[in-house]
Amino acid sequence: MTERHPGPAARRGAVPVVLQDYLRRLDAAARALPSGERQDLRARVWTDVAAAAGPAPTGDRLARVLGELGPPEGLVPARAGGGPGGLRDPAVVHLLGCSLLSAGITGVIGLVRVWRAPSWPRRDAFVATLVVLAGAVALPVLAPVHPVPGAVLGGLGAGAPLAGVLLGVVLLRARRQ
């Protein structure tokens, strides 16, 4: 008669399947978060489950505790690029606002950064770009200046700071919520 060895899930210290599935779904939902935030979220779930389920939880007890936590997708703070919330990068506002002081260089950097930052929604990046372009078109049309320098001065000297103000308002509203 051969003795059967317990499978990996039955070994002491092994993660139960129901918890593995929950953490897998949590990892998939949190993949847009920075690494540190993902680790903090995962640690918080582990701590909450361990505190609620006790030292030797059964599968039913784990399922009940995980049900009380709610779906893992609901634990992930929504992020930019399709989701609300999340802390946005305030450096973008500063870079756009200082555009006139730096001969437009920080305005260009600010636009690139708002498009590349995962914390800013595409909608905000698009609006900021439109405001800069509107400034580039408006100054040569409204003032008697040469079109090329007027467009550069209007876009980076007027449009970029205005885009910085608009994104600053969005940033403040997001932080208040």
- Cα radius of gyration rounded to whole Å, the chain: 25
Q: What is the spatial distance between Cα 158 and Cα 97, in angstroms, rounded to a whole number?
A: 9
CB atoms within 10 A of CB 105: 13
Q: What is the spatial distance between Cα 84 and Cα 62, in angstroms, rounded to a whole number?
A: 31
Q: What is the spatial distance between Cα 169 and Cα 152, in angstroms, rounded to a whole number?
A: 25
**pLDDT per residue rounded down to tens, the chain (177 residues):** 444 444 444 555 677 788 888 888 888 888 877 777 888 888 888 888 888 877 777 778 888 888 888 888 887 876 544 444 456 778 888 778 787 777 778 888 888 888 888 778 889 889 988 988 888 888 778 778 788 877 777 777 788 888 888 888 888 887 776
User: What's the half-sphere exposure (Cβ side, CA atoms, 13 Å) at 20?
Assistant: 7
Provide CB contacts within 8 A for 121, sequence distance 6+.
80, 81, 82, 83, 84
Predicted TM-score of the model (pTM):
0.49
**Tokens 């936590």 map to which residue?**
69
